[in-house]
Chain A
Amino acid sequence: MNQMLWANLKRTWTHHFGTQMTTLIVLAASYAIICSFLTLGQNLRNILSLWGDSIQMTVFLKEETKEDSGNEKLTQLKTRLQAINGVDDVKYVSKQEAAEKFKMEMSGFMPEVFQDEEFIAPFPSSFIISFKDQLKQKIDTLRLAEIAKQISGFEGAEDIAYGQDWLNNYASFIKGINSMGLALVLVLLSGSVFVVGTSIKTSISARRDEIEIMELVGATSQMIRWPLVVEGLFLGLLASTVAGF
């Protein structure tokens, strides 16, 4: 049986080289197109998920919650924040740290402002909350809004910022990209299924005589089917290798 399969494969490529090559080219081209779109889509998703990773929430604290009014309230708030479902880490940023950070980022633009000793004043201390991957990847804006609402009820929290508008735009952008990608892949996939189906149909109708003759001399349906399956697998493998280049 194995010997027959190989002999058949060899014969097909020797005697039907033109048909085999045409099918190979069509298959390889379809594979190549699908693969490039999938790769493109994956890269785009990677870039977008990098943006998604930066999703965090800042909870600005009321004056009396500041570190100098005693650690108890602060610790209590931190514990409450950490207990929220979806929260990964809570980091405290003191008034000074906030000012330092601001200075570092802005000193290039307005150096004279930072000469002023009084300048520290406008920055409140805060907690910066980062979220678990699941929440970030889903860009669950509803859940974020819910969390923000919950925190606003906590004692000591003054204001909450997490780039609501930007995040909403970002979420709908991602949603758009995803559904567009899905539609594109579906179109390409159904296109290639059609192309492959047609080439199989052509190949079978071209070999109807051969199939009939094989039946005539007592070949079982497996003996008829396997050479065709092996040919198809070989073509598919070859086409994907070619498409890979």
Chain B
Amino acid sequence: MISLSHIYKTYPGPIHALSNFDLNIEKGESVFITGPSGSGKTTLFRLVSGFDRPSSGAISVAGFNINELTEKEVPYFRRNIGVVFQDFRLLKDRTVFENVALPLEIKGQKFVGIKQKVNEMLDIVGLTFKREQHPEQLSGGEQQRVAIARALIHQPGVLIADEPTGNLDEELSLGIMELLDKVNAQGTTVLIATHDMDLVKKKRRRVIQIKSGNIVKDSKNEPNALG
């Protein structure tokens, strides 16, 4: 589902954010990417979500060859993935319902269909009664649920979450992780970047540790791994 082969990403400086990076994530897997700040997690996420291109190497996500995507094709690629950020990235002037409905609206779906799907999704994330509220009226955990609902409403094959619990306390973090588990159980490939090692330890998942732009540990390759 996600495949990176001999990826190099160098920023002006030069800063070698990723060097000879190889990664293969199968359909339906749920994977944690961990590592300290500056290890290359964010670069990896920018590449996988099509916000950036590698300096060299090949990336394929959800059947799209990222290297060959033209500017015009990027939006259509994004409609096949779901992205969640630490800072939620919700539109403040829209209600919870409107925020979640946005990807479907962009796809040009009819309002009746959108309404039904959004209501179902809000039910899944437990925000049915907050549908008419604006993001500012919600707690951090609730805002992240809205962001996850928006990332999943168009049923993407891949959900990419960059520090989804970074701004949340432990209890809320666990709630979000449970929600992501539920999403994964339904067949969505989930890729989560986090530096919260406690959270990682609580979950029996494949864990990839990166440092200075390289994979230093992949639990898949360890005989006693849980992943």
Task: List chain A positions with a Cβ less than 8 A from chain B.
Answer: 1, 4, 11, 14-16, 209-210, 212-221, 223
Contacts and interface: CB of A to CB of B under 8 A. Distances in A.
A40 B68 CA distance: 59
B91 A218 contact: no
A209 B107 contact: no
A146 B71 CA distance: 66
B106 A223 contact: yes
A210 B102 CA distance: 12
B89 A212 contact: yes
A11 B83 contact: no
Given A215-B75, A216-B78, A210 B106 contact: no
Contact of A15 (B71, B93, B102): B93
The 5 closest A-B pairs by CB, nearest first: A218-B79, A15-B93, A218-B78, A217-B103, A220-B75
A219 B75 contact: yes
A217 B93 contact: no
Contacts of A4: 105
B76 A218 contact: yes
A219 B106 contact: yes
B53 interface: no
B93 A216 contact: no
Contact of B89 (A1, A15, A209, A221): A209
A213 B75 contact: no
B78 A217 contact: yes
Given A11-B94, A215-B78, A220 B103 contact: no
Interface string B101-124: 011011110000000000000000
B227 to A, nearest CB: 29
A220 B94 CA distance: 20
Contacts of A212: 89
B143 to A, nearest CB: 13
B72 interface: yes
B38 to A, nearest CB: 23
A15 B83 CA distance: 26
A14 B93 CA distance: 9
Contacts of B106: 214, 217-219, 223
A80 B90 CA distance: 85
A194 B105 CA distance: 35
A195 B102 CA distance: 33
B150 interface: yes
Contacts of B72: 220
9 contacts: A11-B93, A15-B92, A209-B89, A209-B91, A214-B106, A216-B89, A217-B102, A218-B76, A223-B75
Contacts of A11: 93-94
A1 B103 CA distance: 13
A217 B94 contact: no
Contacts of B102: 213-214, 217
B155 to A, nearest CB: 13
Contacts of A209: 89, 91
A31 B89 CA distance: 38
Nearest to A224: B75
B75 A218 contact: yes
A1 B76 CA distance: 16
Interface in B113-163: 150
A132 B205 CA distance: 93
A212 to B, nearest CB: 7
A88 B105 CA distance: 69
Nearest to B93: A15
Interface in B49-93: 71-72, 75-79, 83, 89-93
A210 B106 CA distance: 14
